[in-house]
Amino acid sequence: MEIAGVLFDLYGTLFTYGNMSKAFGFWHEDVTHALKELGVSVSISQVAKQCKYFFSEAVPEMEQYTQYELRLQKLAEFFEAKPDYNWIKHTAAISMNRWQRLVPIHPQTIPLLHKLKKQGIRIGIISNFQHAPHVRKVLRKHGLLKILDAVIISGEVHASKPDPQIFKIALERLGTEAKETLFVGDDPERDIRGAASVGMQTCLFQNGSSLFEIFK
């Protein structure tokens, strides 16, 4: 496989999905606790019910807030609370912390990325994530910001996989041509079809399987 660059999906690929029911249970608990700080008397089950379509409902673009922050604001207002700027920012910053514990870094991620770098291959990620500060915090924690040549997060570029635009942005930042770039991801539609639509090589990855097997 002749490649000059590799772009990876983040969650489900370089980070491994664990018990996601438990993870979202943590998230519902933390959001409920944050709402109670606003004086909202609401149960975790009520919050969970209202959050069923939390990430799919349309929200406007606003420079001062990420899409995730706008969704938290909308949720609080549904329960007749009036969240201020500080509550929105603070809740967004802390509400994913316990969720993230159930999505640990793949044990082969860092060794593989170092191996690819030593081979002169440029590497980057494309992540569909609506709160970019969290992604960058996680990448920084694991030292990945120092390794990656390109970090593309949907919440920053206002395009999401499988939109060809986000792949074109990634290729431009990575500095490689589509035909010489491999995309590795776990979603057949968003990752594989999206990357193939711009002429990239693709590899469908199964969450938690061996990353090294891809590059044998």
Q: Which amino acid is at 33?
A: H
- Is the pLDDT confidence value at 56 over 90? no
pLDDT tens, position by position, 105-133: 999 999 999 999 999 999 999 999 999 99
Domain ranges of the chain: 5-16+104-215, 20-101
As a whole number of Å, the CA-based R_g of the chain is: 18
* Residues pairing with 5 in the sheet: 122, 181
pLDDT in tens, 179-194: 999 999 999 999 999 9
- Residue pair 14/109 in contact (Cβ under 8 Å)? The answer is yes
CATH H-level, domain 5-16+104-215: superfamily: HAD superfamily/HAD-like (3.40.50.1000)
pTM here? 0.94
Cα separation, 5 vs 135, in Å, equals 21
| Mean pLDDT calculated for residue range 16-31 | 96
Reply yes or no on whether the pLDDT at 61 is more than 90: no
pLDDT at 1 over 70: no
Q: What is the DSSP letter of 11?
A: B
Main-chain phi, psi angles of 50, to 5 degrees: -70, -25
Overall residue count recorded for the chain in this entry: 216
What was the pLDDT predicted at 207?
97
* Helix/strand/coil percentages in the chain, nearest 5: 50, 15, 35
Kindly state the tokens that stand for 10.
């983040």
Tell me the average pLDDT across 15-32: 97
The secondary structure element, H or E, covering residue 164 is helix 164-174
CA dist 66 → 90, 124, 143 (Å): 13, 22, 24
Checking if the pLDDT of 58 tops 90, the result is: no
Q: How far apart are CA 2 and CA 63, in angstroms?
A: 41
pLDDT digits (tens, 9 = 90+) for 152-173: 999 999 999 999 999 999 999 9
What is the average pLDDT value for the chain, to the nearest integer?
96
